[in-house]
Structure 1
């Protein structure tokens, strides 16, 4: 954690903090972009409509482009500060005249992975609530249980460990472009593997949506500040007994 505190006031931190605050401000202050909470409360409940007709009703009230914009807004608010370490590495490993190009390539790869993952998560959410006939409460309880299991699993820890990997970045030519883009794609993929249940939870709540988003973001930051650990089961809420 001390590493991140030393970065405050310089490097990528001010830009990422500004991006995150912009996302939160846009979410709280713009009625046009409050489509994420609208989505959370507008999926038909069990018994309203099942099958393809139910999905058509969801898409009628929540156009795909609107859902995608809402997902990007969530990303803008919740994920920038997760990129302090990788973007600082990209910035320092690039030539001065190529730094912004490296940052743009990395962010492009990172956002691409999260966008595709968001489309998958939103699709699964719609299918669960419409085809399986789950109510919002049932979906939230199922997602919470899934989140707790995933948080404790070895796969979660493996993904979290890989979030700290810093690959080689070439200085020139096509290799430079490929390395920066590949780093963004891999960082996005491991970040999705680590954080996807925490991104899913706020989409299932209409009351306290923004508060839950903030809590999930703070937990993701706390996890990212931790050092890599052995890949095994970790129960976050388990008390350690000491003789």
Structure 2
């Protein structure tokens, strides 16, 4: 396993910690707060319904039809923006230990700011790809519900299946394997950072970590399609749960109780359905 240079983790420690505390942490926190603020402002605006896929009708659909090619690119762009903001708001807080370690490892480099940006870009690119797949599947499902009366009559069972699937996944081996990678950021960075081609490696490190993050959290993120992407309260709850699972000392022990809670919620929803 490659080890960082001593000059990166030692020497002038006080000065580096001061810069870390005064620059990196405020910038990281400001980015997360900006994403939450924009989502909150969007949810209070007259266009709040467009945070949900249920809002891709009416005036927005009319506007799309009046623009060249707007029938596909405008709703796609708005959906991508909503998903990007949601990923920054919900997932970036879960990766603070990763960014913290990487910032310290690259503290001796003049391009550390660029490398941190590339790390985040790689991470968000992977989540963006997952978002495209999830949104595509959701649109196909909505189209099926609209065209098939028997499926429309049983639409509530889609929510039951999503809750039950998310609950069952909490007990899977894949969940725990990916969660372990997310909970050991120092080992992860040391295993994937070698310093050669630093820009590419920073992006690839972020993308690689994003894959493990998706492997750990994809089922929980799909719950947003059940409760609604514009529901900031549920977004906060899920973000807090995922951050606790990844970052708290006893976070791994939260997976099983959360799984039972989701399975119980699925049973209750099934009884109502």
Superposition TM-score, scaled by structure 1 size: 0.75
Q: 1:123 aligns with which of 136, 151, 163?
A: 136
Q: How far did 1:67 drift?
A: 1.0
Greater radius of gyration (CA)? 2
Q: CA deviation at 1:156?
A: 0.6
Identify the residue that residue 162 of structure 1 maps to in structure 2: 181
- Residues 35 and 85 in structure 2, CA contact (< 8 A), matched pair in contact too: yes
Once the 2 structures are TM-superposed, how far is the Cα of residue 128 of structure 1 from its aligned partner? Answer: 2.5
Which residue in the other structure is 1:222 paired with? 244
Superposed displacement of residue 17, structure 1: 2.2
Match of 2:110, SS state, is: helix
After superposition, where does 1:1-243 map in structure 2 within 5 Å?
12-30=24-42, 31=45, 34=48, 37-39=51-53, 41-42=54-55, 63-94=75-106, 95-131=108-144, 134=151, 137-163=156-182, 164=184, 165-166=188-189, 167-171=191-195, 174=197, 176-206=198-228, 209-226=231-248, 234=256, 236=258
User: Counterpart of 1:47?
Assistant: none
CA root-mean-square deviation: 3.3
Unaligned runs of 5+ in 2: 1-19, 58-70, 262-273
Report the 3-state secondary structure (helix = DSSP H, G, I; strand = E; otherwise coil) of the residue aligned with 1:127. Answer: helix
For residues 9-59 of structure 1, give each alpha carbon's deviation from its aligned partner in whole angstroms, at most 9, with x where no partner exists. 5674433322221111111113377466432x3479xxxxxxxxxxxxxx7
Partners in 2 of 1:208 and 1:114 — Cα distance?
18
Distance 1:32 1:82, change over 3 A: farther
Partners of 1:38 and 1:235 in 2: CA distance: 29
Cα distance between partner residues in 2 of 1:196 and 1:155: 11
Shift of the 214–229 alpha-carbon distance from structure 1 to 2, 3 Å rule, reads closer
Paired residues of 2:167 and 2:259 also in contact (CA < 8 A)? no
Structure holding more helix per residue: 2
In structure 1, C-alpha distance between the alignment counterparts of 2:217 and 2:162, rounded to whole Å: 13
Per-residue CA deviations over 1:45-76 (Å, capped at 9, x if unaligned) read: xxxxxxxxxxxxxx77x821211111111112
Q: How many residues align?
A: 214
Q: CA deviation at 1:147?
A: 0.8
Q: C-alpha separation between the residues in 2 aligned to 1:140 and 1:36?
A: 20
Asked whether the equivalents of residues 170 and 259 of structure 2 are also in contact (C-alpha less than 8 Å), the reply is no
Q: Normalized against structure 2, the TM-score is what? A: 0.67
Contact 1:159 1:194 in 2 (8 A): yes
Please tell me whether the aligned partners of residues 109 and 181 of structure 1 are also in contact (alpha carbons under 8 angstroms).
yes
Counterparts of 2:203 and 2:92 in 1: how far apart (Å)? 17
